[in-house]
Amino acid sequence: MKLSLKISLLFAGLATLVVANPAASQPVRFDGSYVGGGVTGGVIESGLPNGDRTFGGNITARVALPNTPVSVRGSVLFANTNSAIVPTLTYDQGLSDKTNVYAGAGYSFVQNQGQTSALGNRNAVVLNAGVESEVVKGVVVYGDAKYGLRGYDTGRGALAVGGGVGLKF
């Protein structure tokens, strides 16, 4: 089975688990908005010459929509040769009042088309899943995986895995 199909099935399964949880009268979830920074690595090669894996950083923001399990997120994934801007919309499932898991979709805008970024070398639809937790008052740790469907010119998908620390606002 192709890697892109496996990853798509993984995201579909995670989304099913998140959505299948029965609704409670008072949902328990982390509803904070934050901005943070951390590290990101592109873990799938393009198959092209000079299409190596990348390692760099991320700047990530989450804006929780009040009274809904939905968030608007944005990330900038950067390395020494290229970057990608990735806005997404996610469904958030609370594990506690301090921790969420989330799954969603968005789009990656690659700054320099044709050069490798953590999410490939061209613009692409992105699926993402992750976890976030407020570890002390006002401080959030987060980690996620973003999969760019056909993120490389070769048709391969691109996978970026990252994490970081953020401050609530």
Residue whose structure tokens are 């943070």: 36
Euclidean distance between CA atoms 147 and 157, whole angstroms: 7
Q: What is the pLDDT of residues 74-120, one digit of tens each?
A: 999 999 889 999 999 999 999 999 999 999 999 999 999 888 999 99
pLDDT (0 to 100) of residue 24: 47
Question: pLDDT 10s digit of each residue in the chain, 169 long?
Answer: 565 556 655 555 555 555 555 454 556 788 889 999 999 999 887 666 655 778 999 999 999 999 999 999 999 999 988 999 999 999 999 999 999 999 999 999 999 988 899 999 999 999 999 999 999 999 999 999 999 999 998 899 999 999 999 999 9
> Measuring CA to CA, which residue among 128, 124, 131, 164 is closest to residue 10?
128
Domains of the chain: 3-18+30-168 (2.40.160.20)
Euclidean distance between CA atoms 10 and 7, whole angstroms: 5
Q: What is the longest distance spanned by two Cα atoms in the chain?
A: 55
Amino acid symbol at 132:
E
